[in-house]
Chain A
Amino acid sequence: MRKMMMTAILAIPLFAGTAMAQDTLKIGYIDPLSGGGASVGEVGLKTFQFLADEVNAKGGILGKKVEIVPLDNKTNPQESLIQAQKAIDAGVRYLTQGNGSSVAAALSDFVTKYNERNPGKEVLYFNYAAVDPILTNDKCSYWHFRWDANSDIKMAALTNYIKDTPTVKKIYLINQDYSFGESVRTQAKAMLAAKRPDIEIVGNELHPLLKVTDFAPYVAKIKASGADSVITGNWGQDFALLLKAAADAGLKVNWFTYYAGGTGGPTAVKQANLNHQVFQIAEGLPNLGHAPADAFEKALRAKYDFSLFYPRAVNEMRMLAVAAEKAKSIDPVKVAAALEGMEFEVYDGGKGFMRKDDHQFFQPMYISSFGERSDKEPFDEEKTGWGWKLVAKLDADKTVLPTTCKMDRP
């Protein structure tokens, strides 16, 4: 009872808007807007707002304006569920979230149960960045769609690249202590053992998520291990501070990362003077030379002064529009059906598809390195003067991995 009252009280400010909400399509954006994840959460929010503006400028989705409702979850699963309930009570039928697979697992579970109990009021959960493979394997849900490549797909691509780089001999693994970090390190170990058994894993570390303020002790350990390369799935301040500590200590190794491009990352890399020694696996990057993407990048930078870190968010929003038009409705059930198996020309060029079996989106993937630019790389990052350079590309069909998902369909 008390919980219900709390929810009701929390929802009052949102209710005020529901009277005129009939002609808007609200997307609840649940991500950290405070604490250690705030830097990435805010960039994500502005990216989605920019995308909403783009859709609205073209007349919206089926004539309805898209509105992004920001909800701060403090990277906390429990808080996320409160925010999700709050959003749903205010008429939100689409939720999107990305930072933190622990949060994603909780949300996916919540949405699945909610839809079971509230037929006719279904909610869809669009995951744009939480990459724990379990979300599209054992814990898959019909109501969850993921636009980012999962951690295994990224690790497969990274290890393929490392396989052909003979200078890499000793690797140190450092990751955040939760489901995603755990899956990065186990996959890195397994895949390296299969592809390059001669590589020695000289360290395998987990550290608390978004709580470490000084990585100097960890960097001292990496240095002492004699590693020539580091693999890390760290994101948010955990990546920027790790690199900052490495820069302070003068640690010079290769970094194979998932999120070096996140806020503060490029600045830290430049300070560490790691010219083309930091690699990132992602579904896109500036400097690919794809004209529509370049135009988008320019417009985004002109408005917000940051570069596009989430090409997948662009795909998500545009595919939502296409799916709704195909279904001739913004009803989540119909949109979900339209999204299943959908093929789509992705933001950075090339074909992607939403696999029906597990709702994992497959798309071309790119490995890039960060450093000094030539004429071919017009875009820099965070005013460092350095930019991303493509080193390897995988087409969507090369990234397909099997799934263990057994989905309950409505």
Chain B
Amino acid sequence: MLELIVISTLNGVLFGMLLFLMASGLTVIFSMLGVLNFAHASFYMIGAFFGFQLSRWFGFWPALVIAPVLAGALGAAVERYGLRNVHKNGHVAELLFTFGLAFAIEEIVQMIWGKSPVDYRVPASLDFPAFTIFSTNYPAYKMFMLLVSIAIFAALLVGLKKTRIGMIVQAALTHPHMVGHLGHNVGRIFMLVFGFGTALAAVAGVIAGPALVTQSNMAGLLGPILFVVVVVGGLGSLPGAFIASLLIGLLQTFAVSMNGSLASVFGPLGPGHTLLADIWNVTVAQIAPILPYVLLVLILTFRPMGLLGTRET
């Protein structure tokens, strides 16, 4: 039992941190530009595929650096030449633009790399068990993923709170005109932030690609849950996104490890109630995939600004 708890905690934290890597970019972009970027998960996918291709050519470590830079540049270009023009037509147009972009990216990825999963492997230097707890091995690569995520979270927090750039970015958030009058190029800041946000998603893609599956529908699988993270954490709140990511990671992992159902708590229903009996016998593990969305509904009902959000939405 203890073994299950420890391993589930590790797995949950890991999944949560990966979510955070993506959600942080999304939430920063949202709070700065007011754009809910539907294509954010697509940049995660681009990161994974770039990582795969570049690690073929140059090895994993160069890929870990180059792929996010390329994806970030792509993101910046999307902001500069796409979003900025669309922006004039209001929020709905922006939303539709990123929505369409997500589909376009998926199609392009399918054209280049095909529809089936690509053979993206864990680098040999990290392909060993890091440690063994209660006879279960924990892979070194997963440990590496965890460390990278934590390092980026720390850097992000320090960068935004303690540095000059962070201050300007934060100020541009709430008072873009004032920042502009102070001589900063707000347009360029927006472009860089968008690029940086997408690069963060790409980092998550490069490191998650070998551990999970790298294929053309991976963005579609992760996209919806990202929005849950951002909304539950509070739109625009970085610490909120962090807490929500961990919460959802742990929630899903622990839900999978639970066998309880209503029947095991209250006793099985007699025959004859087939429809009810189905609901009665569903285990927590079976509904694990929908739990984050239940959480989303609850949060929107009882605390619409999210856990750490400051403004009413």
Task: Determine if B59 is an interface residue (Cβ-Cβ < 8 Å).
Answer: no
The answer for the CA separation of A275 and B138 in the assembled complex, in Å, is 21
Report which residue of A38, A206, A248 has the largest number of chain B beta carbons within 10 angstroms of its beta carbon. Answer: A248
Q: Residue-by-residue, is A216-237 near B (CB-CB < 8 Å gives 1, otherwise 0)?
A: 1110110110000000000001
Question: Which of A28-36, A188-196, A393-401 makes up part of the contact surface?
Answer: A28-36
Question: Contact check: which of A207, A249, A263 meets B137 at CB < 8 Å?
Answer: A249
Contact of B116 among A38, A211, A213 (CB under 8 A): A38
5 A-B pairs with least C-beta separation? A34-B115, A250-B137, A38-B116, A224-B4, A217-B256
Q: Does A214 contact B (CB under 8 A)?
A: yes
**Contact of B110 with A248 in the complex, beta carbons under 8 Å:** no
* Any B CB within 8 A of the CB of A345: no
Q: Say yes or no: B117 contacts A38, CB within 8 Å.
A: yes
- Among the listed A34, A72, A177, A223, which residue makes an inter-chain contact with B217, where contact means beta carbons less than 8 Å apart? A34
Cβ–Cβ < 8 Å partners of B212 in chain A: 213-214
A220 contact from B11, B115, B259, Cβ within 8 A = B11
Q: Of the 9-residue stretches B128-136, B181-189, B264-272, which lies at the interface with chain A?
A: B128-136
Expressed in whole angstroms, the minimum distance between the Cβ of A382 and any Cβ of chain B is: 10
B115 touches A221 (CB 8 A): no
Report which of A205, A216, A237, A263 forms a contact with B11, defined as CB distance below 8 A. Answer: A216
> Could you say which interface size class chain B belongs to?
35 or more
> Looking at A213, A251, A263, which has the most chain B CB atoms within 10 Å of its CB?
A213
Closest to B282 in A: A206
Report the Cα distance A115→B250, complex, angstroms: 51
Q: Which of A258-278 contact B (CB under 8 A)?
A: 263-264
A217-B256, A263-B116 known; 7 new pairs, CB 8 Å cut-off, are: A205-B285, A206-B285, A207-B285, A211-B289, A216-B142, A248-B142, A251-B136
Across the interface, name the chain A residue whose C-beta is closest to B106. Answer: A34
Bound together, the chains give a CA A249 to CA B256 distance in angstroms of 17
A38 touching B256 by the CB < 8 A rule? no
Chain A residues near B252 (CB, 8 Å)? 217
Residues on A with beta carbons closer than 8 Å to the beta carbon of B211: 214
Contact pick for B136, options A203, A250, A263, CB 8 Å:
A250
Complex Cα distance, B116 from A36, in Å, reads 8
Q: A27 at the A/B interface (Cβ < 8 Å)? A: no
Nearest B-chain residue to A252, judged by Cβ: B135
Shortest Cβ gap from A13 to chain B (Å): 17
B124 at the binding interface (Cβ < 8 Å)? no
Nearest opposing residue in chain B for A220, CB measure:
B7
Given contacts A208-B289, A217-B257, A237-B117, contact A35 B213 (CB under 8 A): no
- From residue B250, how far is it (CB to closest CB) to chain A in Å? 11
Q: Which residue of B lies closest to A208 (CB)?
A: B289
Q: Mark A364-397, 1 if CB is under 8 A from B, else 0.
A: 0000000000000000000000000000000000
List the B side residues contacting A39 at CB < 8 Å.
Answer: 116-117
- Asked if A42 is at the interface (CB within 8 A of a chain B CB), the reply is yes
Query: Which residues on A sit within 8 Å (CB–CB) of B138?
Result: 249
In the docked arrangement, what's the CA distance between A221 and B284, Å?
A: 13
Partner of B115, one of A35, A205, A237, A249: A35
Asked whether, in the complex, the Cβ of B139 is within 8 Å of the Cβ of A248, the reply is yes
Tell me, in angstroms, the Cα distance from A38 to B117 when the chains sit together: 8
A250 partner, pick from B1, B8, B135, B289, beta carbons under 8 A: B135
Contact B216 A34 (CB under 8 A): yes
A residues near B4, Cβ cutoff 8 Å: 220-221, 223-224
CA gap between A36 and B117 in the complex, in Å: 8
A250 and B132 in contact, given A217-B8, A220-B4 (Cβ under 8 angstroms) = yes
A339 an interface residue at 8 Å Cβ cutoff? Answer: no
Query: Counting CB contacts under 8 A, is A241 at the interface?
Result: yes
Query: A interface, how many residues as a size bin?
Result: 20 to 34
Report if A220-B8 is in contact (Cβ < 8 Å); known contacts: A211-B289, A249-B137, A250-B135: yes
Report the separation of the CA atoms of residues A224 and B137 in the bound assembly, to the nearest whole angstrom.
Answer: 13
Cβ of B137: which chain A residues have Cβ within 8 Å of it? Answer: 248-250
Q: Which of A42, A208, A241, A251 contacts B213 (CB 8 A)?
A: A241
Q: Mark A153-197, 1 if CB is under 8 A from B, else 0.
A: 000000000000000000000000100000000000000000000
What CA separation (Å) do A43 and B129 show in the bound complex? 33
Contact indicator B217/A36 (Cβ below 8 Å): yes
| Residues on the B chain within 8 Å of A208, using CB | 289
* CB-defined contacts of A249 to chain B, threshold 8 Å: 7, 136-138
Alpha-carbon gap, A216 to B137, bound state (A): 11
Q: Which residues of A contact B257 (CB under 8 A)?
A: 217, 220-221, 224
Q: Can you list 11 residue pairs at the A/B interface with Cβ under 8 Å?
A: A35-B216, A35-B217, A38-B117, A207-B286, A217-B8, A217-B252, A223-B7, A224-B1, A248-B139, A249-B138, A250-B132
Chain B proximity mask over A88-122: 1 for CB below 8 Å, otherwise 0: 00000000000000000000000000000000000
Give chain A residues whose Cβ lies under 8 Å from the Cβ of B136. Answer: 220, 223, 249-251
Contacting pair B142 A38 (CB below 8 A): no
Query: B55 at interface (Cβ–Cβ under 8 A)?
Result: no
How far does the Cβ of B287 sit from chain A's closest Cβ, in whole Å?
10
CA distance A250 to B140 in the complex (A): 13
Q: Is the CB of A213 within 8 A of B3?
A: no
- Which residues of B (1-18) have their CB < 8 Å from a CB of A? 1, 3-4, 7-8, 11-12, 15
Query: How close is A263's CB to chain B, nearest CB, in angstroms?
Result: 8
In the docked arrangement, what's the CA distance between A103 and B135, Å?
41
**In whole Å, how far is A361's beta carbon from the nearest beta carbon of chain B?**
28
Q: Judge whether B98 is part of the interface by a CB distance below 8 angstroms.
A: no
- The residues of B that contact A207 with a CB separation of less than 8 Å are 256, 285-286
Checking A224, A241, A250, A251 against B129 with a beta-carbon cut-off of 8 angstroms, the contacting residue is A250
**Least CB distance, A385 to chain B, in whole angstroms:** 17
Q: Once the chains are docked, how many angstroms separate the CA of A203 from the CA of B129?
A: 26
Check A206/B286 contact, CB under 8 A, given A34-B110, A216-B11, A220-B11.
yes
CA of A34 to CA of B285, assembled, Å = 27
**Residue from the list A213, A217, A248 in contact with B218, Cβ < 8 A:** A213
- Give Cα A38 to B139, complex, Å: 27
Q: CA separation between A191 and B136, bound complex, in Å? A: 31
B237 interface residue (CB < 8 Å to A) = no
Shortest Cβ distance from A250 into B: residue: B137
B3 touches A223 (CB 8 A): yes
- A218 neighbours in B (Cβ, 8 Å): 256
Instruction: Provide the B109-148 mask, 1 if CB < 8 A to any CB of A, else 0.
Output: 0100001110000000000010010011111001000000
Q: Chain B contacts of A203 at CB under 8 A?
A: 259
Q: Write out the residue numbers on chain B whose beta carbons fall within 8 Å of the beta carbon of A250.
A: 129, 132, 135-137
Contacts of A223 in B (CB 8 A): 3-4, 7, 135-136
Complex Cα–Cα for A242 and B303 (A):
38
